[in-house]
Amino acid sequence: MKHWLEYIAFRIMVFLFSIMPFRLLHFNSDLLAYLLQYVFRYRRKVVEDNLKKSFPEKTDAELKSVRRKFYSNLSDVLLEIVKSFSMPLHRMNSRIRLENPEILDIHFENKQSCIMLMSHYANWEWIPFTGHTAKHKNCALYKPLSNKRVDKFMRTIRERTGLAVYAMQQAGIMIRSNINKPALFTYITDQNPGGDVEEPYWIDFLNRKTAAIHGAEKMAVKFNLPVYYYDLQRIKRGRYVGRLLPLEMNPASTLPGEITTKYLNILEEIIRRKPEDWMWSHKRWKKKYPGNKKQA
């Protein structure tokens, strides 16, 4: 019964936002940002601690400004994601575009699959809607939701662009069943490694030793799949532009941790240029560096 009520409430929310113009959507986002930051104080201590330790050179005023802009980004992303559930694809395509899909053409012509790394930056959930601009079959991992009805709805929405989604535990199945299509395999790899993940690499990232997930790197090396990073930037509210950045074209020749380090290095550069668009509310540094573990 509880899951039914959650699903009904979710669908009502989707309907309400479906008829809401973007100007009104972003007005409500401003209100939500205020509530999240000052009333509900959503993970505010986590956000403040992450920012302070990542940018020790910034003044309190500068950190406060980043924090405020972060909550604005968070609320925009949340409401834009819900809005997108009911948006026609042609309207989505007018709001997010990939600048250089042709960079993958040579791989497609050679029937070569690739790996695309992403992060929780700007509106990452809209990236699948640009998948049609690449010739490869698009595949991605996702974390299933506890409410099966909402999860099924979310899968349907994501798959309407031709994206094939797989549960996180199905990474091997995703690669093996699509590698000869050829396919573009998408991984979001900036989160904290879970307890059931293999021993992480420890990499210097945002002023701290950071436990890094390396499942995408392992697959890239095993099958020698070229690796790209999808750099998504907000150009104005509700409008985004992405660019594919080459990370490694010959993974089989790399050292352990090399690709993951390149990924985190480029992500750090992007975050430092515009820190408010990264997901600072994640408990990214839950794992503490033990001092005797392998470093990349």
Q: Name the pLDDT band for 261 (thresholds 50, 70, 90).
A: very high
Residue, of 156 and 274, whose pLDDT is higher: 274
Count of H-run helices and E-run strands, the chain: 10, 9
* Span 61-83, average pLDDT: 96
Residue pointed to by tokens 């993974």: 251
**In whole angstroms, how large is the CA radius of gyration of the chain?**
19
Confidence at residue 79, expressed as pLDDT on a 0 to 100 scale: 93
* Confidence at residue 6, expressed as pLDDT on a 0 to 100 scale: 80
pLDDT at position 195 over 70: no
pLDDT for residue 197 is more than 60: no
- What's the CA gap between 138 and 163, in Å, rounded? 5
Q: Judge whether 175 and 194 are in contact, CB under 8 Å.
A: no
- Residue 183 sits at φ, ψ, to 5 deg, of -130, 160
| Percent of the chain residues topping a pLDDT of 70 | 95
Of the chain, the percentage scoring pLDDT greater than 90 comes to: 66
Give 198's pLDDT tier (boundaries 50, 70, 90): low
Among the ranges given (125-134, 184-193, 248-257, 264-273), the one the predictor scored with the smallest mean pLDDT: 125-134
Q: Which two tokens stand for residue 115?
A: 């790996």
Query: Looking at this protein, which amino acid is placed at residue 178?
Result: N
Q: What is the mean pLDDT of residues 199-207?
A: 92
Rounded (10°) CA dihedral 143, 146, 129, 71: -90
Average pLDDT over residues 133-157: 84
Mean pLDDT, to the nearest integer, of 112-120? 96
pLDDT at site 143? 83
Question: Alpha helix locations (H) across 85-224?
Answer: 89-93, 105-109, 148-159, 171-178, 215-223
| Arithmetic mean of pLDDT, 84-90 | 83
More confident residue, 99 or 129: 99
Q: Picking from 130-134, 176-180, 253-257, which range would have the lowest pLDDT averaged per residue?
A: 130-134
The answer to whether 259 and 166 are in contact (CB under 8 A) is: no
User: In which band, very low, low, confident or very high, does the pLDDT at 196 lie, cut at 50, 70 and 90?
Assistant: very low
More confident residue, 157 or 203: 203
What pLDDT was estimated at residue 293?
58
Measured distance CA(220)–CA(186) in Å, rounded: 12
d(CA 71, CA 210): 24
21/217 Cα distance (integer angstroms): 41
SS3 label, residue 201: strand
Between 150 and 177, the higher pLDDT residue: 177
* pTM tops 0.75, yes or no: yes
- pLDDT band at residue 159, thresholds of 50, 70 and 90? confident
294 pLDDT above the threshold of 60:
no
Q: Rounded CA gap, 254 and 256, in Å?
A: 7
